[in-house]
Amino acid sequence: MESSRRNFMKIGGACALGLGALPIVKAYAKNEKPQVAPDSKALVATKWAMVIDMKKCWEKGKPGCKDCLLACHSVHNVPEIKTIKEEIKWIWNEQYEHAFPGQENHFLPEEIRQKPFIVLCNHCTNPPCVRVCPTKATFKRKDGITMMDYHRCIGCRYCMAGCPYGARSFNFRDPRPYIQTELNMTYPTRERGVVEKCSFCDERLAVGLLPACVEACKCGALCFGDIEDPNSEVRKLLASRFTIRRKPELGTQPSVYYIV
C-alpha cells in the first residue's frame, strides 16, 4: 500500500511539473526563447489610466458589440460559467443606474438610462481591496495597476467584500473545463478557490502591446495611457471632455474615466 501511494505521488508530481513546463516546451518547439528579462519594447507609465468614450461606443459601434469583452476573456482564459453566482468576469456591461448609483436623476435621458456601460476593475489609487487582503495576494504596482498573485490567494474573499465595484470574481469550481475559446498557453489558467480580475493586461504591456480590450475596439472608444503625461491621449481627453467616474464619493480615486 505504501509503495502504491509513493508511486502515485511521484506520478502526480511529474504530471504537475509537466503541465507547468508545457508553455516553455512549446516556446522551444517554435524556436522562441523564454522571456527572462524586461522587454525593450515594454510600455511604461508613471500611472496608467483608461478613458472610455461611451458616446463613441454607442454611435460608432455595431449594436450588441462585445469585441472588447470577447478579446479580454479569450486572451486571459476566462471561463464561461452561466450561473450568476459563479460567473467569472473581467469586463462586462452594466446599465447606468448600476454603474453609477447616486449619479442618476429622474430627468436622465432614456437613451442613456437604457444603454450598456462597459465596466471593469477601476485600478483605484486608494484600493480597499489591497488594504483588506491578509496575504498581500492583491497589491498595487508603482504604475497604478492593482494586481493579483494567484499563488498567494487563499480564497478568503475579503477583497471581494472590500471592492465597491463588484470587479472581482471567485472560482467556486475548477474553471478550466469552462474555457470556451482556444486556450492561450502564454497566460496561466486559475484554480478553484482563488479570486481573479482585470489586470489592465500587464502581461501585454510588458511586451509593448496595449490592453486586449483597447486593441479590439474598432471604433476607438477605449483609450489607455499615462495620466501623468500631459501629452498623452488620455490627458488630452480629460482636458477637453467632461468625464465621470464610478462612486467618486467613496474616495477610492478610480483610474477609469467615462465620457457620457
Binning pLDDT at 50, 70 and 90, where does residue 43 land?
very high
Binning pLDDT at 50, 70 and 90, where does residue 130 land?
very high
Those residues with Cβ within 8 angstroms of residue 154's Cβ, 6 or more apart along the chain or in another chain: 134, 135, 137
C-alpha cell belonging to residue 48:
496608467
Q: Residue 36's Cα: distance from chain center in Å?
A: 24
| pLDDT tens digits along 44-95 | 999 999 999 999 999 998 888 999 999 999 999 999 999 999 999 999 999 9
Q: Where are the beta strands (DSSP E) in 159-248?
A: 169-170, 195-196, 222-226
C-alpha cell belonging to residue 10:
511521484
Q: What is the pTM of this model?
A: 0.85
* Cell 497589491 found at: 139
State the pairing for strand pair 48-53/256-259: parallel
Percent of the chain with pLDDT over 90: 77
| pLDDT tens digits along 191-227 | 999 999 999 999 999 999 999 999 999 999 999 999 9
| pLDDT tens digits along 221-232 | 999 999 999 999
**Would you state the pLDDT for residue 6?**
56
* 3-state SS record for 153-184: CCCCCHHHHHCCCCCCEECCCCCHHHCCCCCC
Higher pLDDT, 23 or 84: 84
